């Protein structure tokens, strides 16, 4: 047991890191008693941490089965990503004029901090800053309902996307693409932004499928 009992934020951060780094596997059950014994946290704190993980789509709670690391079938993954590509490209088409300077500055700041977190292997920060970058980007498209729909399906794919954070190569390419996106926004190049989106969101999906469905997934590469 830990010398200092952990609060729910500590438990949440630790479990998030374990899921993102792949220490916790798809469909693995998170056992309250084991986490309480390991962290010294109260049952109430562990349950709050579970609820926060559920909000971001990293775990799923099933009646009489407890809390498990979320997983999807190949078909479900392909369908989710088809929806994401449609929604995000639709948002991209709205950027037909150069984005305001404050939007470019905000995105550049987030992208820079995301790059630094990635190189320091602070995976929790990578996860949070990556989400913040895309939320800021799509909120700037000027359609709140569309931005909310994008956020919903992004959350639904968190367990898929986070597996790729352990790959330095994928993180470095994603970082470069964030700065590419900023350039297209500064130029009002909607078509250019829409061209980046399928490969940007598709790469983590392919990584996840290759890692978890060996022999079942036909890699498009």
Please give the domain boundaries of the chain with CATH numbers for all domains.
8-69 (1.10.10.10), 74-212 (1.20.120.530)
40 three-class SS: coil
- For residue 123, what pLDDT is reported? 83
Both tokens of residue 185?
């926004």
- Closest C-alpha to 18, from 60, 62, 59: 59
- For residue 2, what pLDDT is reported? 44
**Which sign does the torsion angle of CA 29, 34, 35, 36 carry?**
positive
Both tokens of residue 102?
């404050």
CA distance 99 to 139: 12
- For residue 215, what pLDDT is reported? 63
- For residue 211, what pLDDT is reported? 83
pLDDT per residue, tens digit, the chain (221 aa), is 445 778 999 999 899 888 876 788 888 999 999 999 999 999 999 999 999 999 877 899 998 889 999 888 899 999 999 999 999 999 999 999 999 999 999 999 999 999 999 999 888 888 889 999 999 999 999 999 999 999 989 888 887 887 787 788 999 999 999 999 999 999 999 999 999 999 999 999 999 898 877 666 566 65
Sheet holding 66-69, edge to edge: 29-30, 66-69, 59-62
Match 């979320």 to its residue by tokens: 70
Match 């964030």 to its residue by tokens: 178
- For residue 193, what pLDDT is reported? 98
- Closest C-alpha to 162, from 193, 125, 198: 125
- For residue 216, what pLDDT is reported? 63
Q: Mind giving me the DSSP string for 108-166? A: HHHHHHHHHHHHTT-HHHHHHHHHHHHHHHHHTTS-HHHHHHHHHHHHHTHHHHGGGGG
CA distances from 41 to 1, 15, 46, 51 (A): 9, 13, 7, 15
- For residue 1, what pLDDT is reported? 44
The answer to whether 129 and 117 have CB atoms below 8 angstroms apart is: yes
pTM for this entry: 0.76
CA distance 149 to 137: 14
């Amino acid at each position: 047991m830990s010398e200092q009992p952990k609060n729910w934020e500590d438990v949440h951060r630790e479990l998030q890191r374990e899921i993102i780094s792949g220490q916790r596997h798809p469909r693995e059950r998170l056992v309250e008693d084991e986490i309480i014994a390991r962290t010294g946290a109260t049952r109430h704190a562990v349950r709050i941490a579970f609820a926060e993980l559920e909000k971001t789509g990293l775990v799923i709670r099933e009646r009489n089965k407890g809390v498990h690391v979320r997983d999807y079938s190949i078909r479900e993954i392909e369908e989710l990503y088809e929806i994401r590509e449609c929604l995000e490209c639709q948002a991209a088409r709205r950027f037909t004029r150069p984005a305001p300077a404050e939007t470019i500055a905000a995105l550049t700041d987030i992208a820079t901090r995301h790059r630094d977190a990635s190189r320091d292997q602070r995976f929790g920060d990578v996860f949070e800053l990556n989400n913040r970058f895309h939320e800021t980007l799509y909120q700037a498209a000027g359609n709140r309902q569309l931005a909310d729909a994008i956020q919903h399906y992004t959350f639904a794919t968190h367990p898929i996307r986070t597996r790729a954070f352990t790959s330095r190569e994928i993180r470095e390419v994603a970082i470069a693409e964030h700065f590419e996106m900023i350039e297209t926004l500064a130029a009002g190049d909607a078509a250019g932004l829409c061209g980046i989106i399928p490969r940007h969101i598709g790469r983590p999906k392919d990584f996840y499928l290759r890692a978890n469905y060996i022999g079942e997934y036909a890699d498009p590469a």
